[in-house]
Amino acid sequence: MRRPFIAGNWKMNLTQSDCRSLATDLAAGLATSEGCDVAICPPFVYLETVLNAAAGSALKVGAQNLYPEPSGAFTGEVSAPMLADLGVTYAILGHSERRHILGETDAQVYSKVKAALGSGLLPIVCVGETLEQREAGRTNDVVSTQFHGSLGELSEEEFAIITIAYEPVWAIGTGKVATPEQAEEVHSNLRNVIESRYNSSVAAAVRIQYGGSVKPDNVTELMAQENIDGALVGGASLTPESFLGIVHGAIGQ
């Protein structure tokens, strides 16, 4: 049984006081929800504020990126040991906005994953095709190539710590959610690719989140699919009502 995992990606949104009050409301609202892992990922500058607001609750905190080197002359960057030192649990790596807007490659994502693992952070690694790639019938190839390039060199022990987020680029922030069947097809194919690279028990254990316009009113049917184990949520993670609605919808409450 894979434990559901809902993560909120706040992207480059909110002020410090917004972050404090959203995290406080979520921490309070989660007190009763068991059976699901829940994390929120604020901008770097608000991590400490959010960590303080979430302290003592079931809510975990993640970063949205990191730099693969531990320290040194890398102006403007933030390392995995710094995040671990602060008490951060997760790191979203290889988000499509980083791949497409900032040109991040699979090899760079892999080095970030290694750095995260080396500091005890739990990576959430994103893969997903563009609309053009989907229309050209290349979805499974693209996702499989991203998996091999970003994760395929990990040992079985390292891979066991990873969460994967399948996020079709055309569904992110567009309101155009993949149908449960479209998402399930990719998740199930990805699990087969993982089984071929590792083995069936590793493939059965890894959690694969879906991301792209997840809302309280579509999460239940997505989660009902055999190979969808959670959600990576952008826009709908920015208010307590919609994010808690997604958490409750995911665990059928």
Please give the residue ranges that form the binding site for ligand PGA (CB under 6 A).
9, 167, 172-173, 211-214, 232-236
Residue nearest to ligand PGA (CB): 234
- Burial of 228 (C-beta count, 10 Å sphere; 0-12/13-18/19+): buried
Nearer to ligand PGA, 65 or 213 (CB): 213
**Catalytic residue ranges:** 95, 167
- DSSP characters over 167-194: --GGGTTSS-PPPHHHHHHHHHHHHHHH
Q: How far is the CB of 237 from ligand PGA (least distance, A)?
A: 7
Amino acid at 148: H
Q: Which is nearer to ligand PGA, 29 or 235 (CB)?
A: 235
Residue closer to ligand PGA by CB (options 203, 232) is: 232
46 vs 243 by CB, closer to ligand PGA: 243
**Min dist. Cβ of residue 35 to ligand PGA (A):** 22
Q: Closest distance between ligand PGA and the C-beta of residue 211, in Å?
A: 4
Helices and strands of the chain, counted as H and E runs: 12, 8
CB atoms under 10 Å from CB of 90, counted, come to 23
Smallest distance, ligand PGA to C-beta of residue 212, A: 5
Q: How far apart are alpha carbons 9 and 235 in whole angstroms?
A: 8
For 126, counting Cβ atoms within 10 Å of its Cβ (0-12 exposed, 13-18 middle, 19+ buried), the class is: buried
Task: Please report which residue ranges of the chain form alpha helices under DSSP H.
Answer: 16-29, 47-54, 80-86, 96-101, 106-118, 131-135, 139-151, 156-159, 180-197, 200-205, 219-223, 240-250
41: β partners: 9
The pair of structure tokens assigned to 216 is 């309280």
CB of 208 to ligand PGA, least distance (A): 14
Residue (95 or 197) nearer to ligand PGA, CB: 95
